Structure 1
């Protein structure tokens, strides 16, 4: 089975994530659309990217979140204008994308960031998201401080281009360095207007934390939610939303505090047909959470 981390290492990409909605009141007001992180369908996309996008729309989704873009490969083998046309054909939008930023964060690769900004704008994205931090970039508190500085600089560049920058978590950010976690450093040492956070709710819960407490401590920073459920028998596995052990109804009650604007479903492993799975998760989110 291909894991996210092994895939990223093999492909030289950085990605991740999912999203879910706010409290009933806020969800209906601010998060009418349900999106999917296309990493969910990473095994199917290389076979028939255009067909996959069509099936995502058929499952009910109105938004997609991309991963793996490069200037050379484009979006899943399509250059931005072609990908944008495909989305429009299926009444889909792509408000956000995961872009591999290790070389920017670690080496200051400005050209790579610029290429991401250009690609994002061509498909009318609103968010550029750092999906992952390579292990070499996160060995100490000072490392996280340097990362925070680079995220802020990326936030400035995105703002100048009319975009919003955001950071997506896993569980490693919650490791403590002294009295602070890496995640706390990133939150405290970045400008709330320049750097938003895409909270991956599964990874927060797996790290032993309560997402609602994060929202209360950092109101308005979590404009994107990655929503994936935790398998009841094996917490290391995902399952369809509403079938696992995460109490999403309770989490959604804090949507207004979090400031969520985009709900993004993600799943990294399947016990059923992937397209049946994403349709089931969509239905649960729409009928029970927003």
Structure 2
């Protein structure tokens, strides 16, 4: 099985104009764009047209948690306009985070409420992790587990292997634990310890993660898409091309 491969457009935020990159990304072999806010917000129809013109799709998109909770209809309309099927809130700002299990369980419940609103439109909701969800609370519980406990079976997961690695957690264990709810896999790579360039991230295959060892676990999940991302590349083209070449060489 091969997966559609998306390019997380956040990787290119420092290299406008973004739409001009779409034909190049298609030529590299990408199937889709995974956008982040605000790339699509000002004019979702124009964003969709740029995708269509380049022969690219949009399977998932990142959106604010507040948008899912407070403006669900607006973001459902955006999803339908740009062709996405998975709505992904990816972050809670540090000043909004609490240190109690009830807070993180409640976050899952809010995500589940958003998923319930989205479902009649054929849309799913997924959470995207960073590192903070893997830092145990005072009682030993992990926010990532509490989020999905509160979220129930209809909350999906876009798993970011790079942030899991940076948090000191174990990507194979997390892929196994959440296999049934992983809908997308971000193959973000981490540079060797001590690397200061590009904020310590690397193109997929250029870092420390053994992707070949993870591929069999990918295939045991419910994943529908593979996503590349780099939080701060100095050269977006190099990152994009090296990453997809490595992914395709793995048979994904």
TM over 0.5: yes
Aligned counterpart in structure 2 of residue 205 of structure 1, from 145, 165, 189: 165
The count of corresponding residues between Structure 1 and Structure 2 is 247
Partner of 2:82: 123
Q: Is the 8 A contact 1:59 1:275 kept in 2?
A: no
Q: CA, structure 1 residues 266+207, in 2 after alignment: closer, same or farther (shift >3 Å)?
A: same
Alignment partners' CA distance in 2, 1:207 and 1:231? 14
TM-score normalised by the chain length of structure 1: 0.80
Partner of 2:20: 51
Q: CA deviation at 1:90?
A: 1.0
Q: CA deviation at 1:140?
A: 1.7
Q: In the TM superposition, what whole-angstrom CA distance separates every residue of 1:22-65 from its partner, at most 9, and x where no partner exists?
A: xxxxx43xx1x2111000000113xx232122222222211110
Alignment partners' CA distance in 2, 1:76 and 1:217? 34
Alignment partners' CA distance in 1, 2:228 and 2:41? 19
1:139 equivalent to 2:99? Answer: yes
Structure with the largest fraction of helix = 2
Q: CA deviation at 1:116?
A: 0.9
Aligned counterpart in structure 1 of residue 55 of structure 2, from 86, 91, 95: 91
Aligned counterpart in structure 1 of residue 237 of structure 2, from 250, 275, 279: 275
Q: Secondary structure at the match of 1:259?
A: coil
Alignment partners' CA distance in 2, 1:141 and 1:162? 31
Q: CA, structure 1 residues 76+163, in 2 after alignment: closer, same or farther (shift >3 Å)?
A: closer
1:195 equivalent to 2:155? Answer: yes
1:75 equivalent to 2:37? Answer: no
Alignment partners' CA distance in 2, 1:218 and 1:257? 10
Partner of 1:255: 218
Q: In the TM superposition, what whole-angstrom CA distance separates every residue of 1:72-121 from its partner, at most 9, and x where no partner exists?
A: xx7164x22222121111110011100011x357xx52xx2221110110
Aligned counterpart in structure 2 of residue 186 of structure 1, from 130, 147, 170: 147
Q: Secondary structure at the match of 1:176?
A: coil
Q: Is the 8 A contact 2:105 2:149 kept in 1?
A: no
Alignment partners' CA distance in 2, 1:234 and 1:227? 21
Alignment partners' CA distance in 2, 1:84 and 1:55? 17
- Which residues of 2 match residues 100-115 of structure 1 at below 5 A? 100-101=64-65, 103=66, 108-109=69-70, 112-115=71-74
- Which residues of 2 match residues 149-164 of structure 1 at below 5 A? 149-164=109-124
- Which residues of 2 match residues 224-263 of structure 1 at below 5 A? 224-234=184-194, 237-263=200-226
Unaligned runs of 5+ in 1: 1-26
Q: CA deviation at 1:146?
A: 1.4
Alignment partners' CA distance in 1, 2:9 and 2:194? 23
Q: Is the 8 A contact 1:49 1:76 kept in 2?
A: no
Q: CA deviation at 1:137?
A: 3.2
Unaligned runs of 5+ in 2: none
Q: CA, structure 1 residues 289+241, in 2 after alignment: closer, same or farther (shift >3 Å)?
A: farther
Alignment partners' CA distance in 1, 2:219 and 2:205? 21
Q: Is the 8 A contact 1:249 1:289 kept in 2?
A: no
Q: Secondary structure at the match of 1:253?
A: helix
Q: Secondary structure at the match of 1:254?
A: helix
- Which residues of 2 match residues 7-46 of structure 1 at below 5 A? 27-28=1-2, 31=3, 33-45=4-16
